[in-house]
Structure 1
Amino acid sequence: MKARAAKTAAAMAPAGQASALKAEAAPKKRVSPTKFFEQVMAEAKKITWTSRKETWITSLMVFVMVVMTSIFFFVVDWVLRTGVTQILALANAG
């Protein structure tokens, strides 16, 4: 399927870009497991972790937003329930 997509893209691309797309579609060379894990460790060293304070503030903000959202939906549910109850009461009275 990827080969078909690459052929379609190459056919639709301007003449100068067709060769670049063909080279991009070629399978990549396999990397040895040792080299792979070296690359993984190198990338892992680039990770920047959030501080304890940032994590605490973010968690607190999530909690506040959950509370606000639940209050909002509680009020909306109460208003709709009251409205529907009133409409049904009118229908049963008549």
Structure 2
Amino acid sequence: MAKPHFPGRRTGNPAARAKPQLATAAAASTVTVDAPAPKKRTSPGQFISQVQAEARKIVWPSRKETWITSVMVFIMVAIAVVFFWAVDTALGWLSTIILAIGQ
């Protein structure tokens, strides 16, 4: 059975990784970094055509889907309102009882 590949996963001898060794000053000073590749520039005409191509891929919801989604949002808001009202009322009542004990 093949093992799944995960990006950034370390391979090799796990025992060699167990205790990282300190790098010497000479080894640390010889580290090189690859320069990033130059970015390819697009002309304004190509940009406009790419934007139009992406805009053609947009799928807008129908009027019915928008209506159903809006109704569902209002229902969820109403449920949240009732829930938070009930919690607020219960905590207010509880705090009144606790504060009355101290008097």
TM-score over 0.5 (shorter chain): yes
Gaps of 5+ in 2: 1-7, 11-33
Gaps of 5+ in 1: 1-8, 13-21
Q: For residues 50-87 of structure 1, what are the alpha-carbon distances to aligned partners after superposition, in whole Å with 9 as ceiling and x for unaligned?
A: 00000000011010000100100000000000000011
CA displacement at 1:27 relative to structure 2: 2.7
- Does structure 1 residue 75 correspond to structure 2 residue 89? no
Tell me, in whole angstroms, the C-alpha distance in 1 between the residues paired with 2:80 and 2:39.
48
Residue equivalent to 1:15: none
CA displacement at 1:89 relative to structure 2: 1.0
**Larger RCO (alpha carbons 8 Å, 6+ apart):** 1
Q: CA RMSD in A?
A: 1.9
Taking structure 2 as the reference length, the TM-score comes to 0.64
Residue equivalent to 2:18: none
Taking structure 1 as the reference length, the TM-score comes to 0.70
2:72 pairs with one of 50, 61, 72: 61
Count, aligned residues: 71
Residue equivalent to 2:60: 49
2:38 pairs with one of 19, 27, 39: 27
Runs of 4+ displaced beyond 6 Å: none
Q: Which has the higher helix share?
A: 1
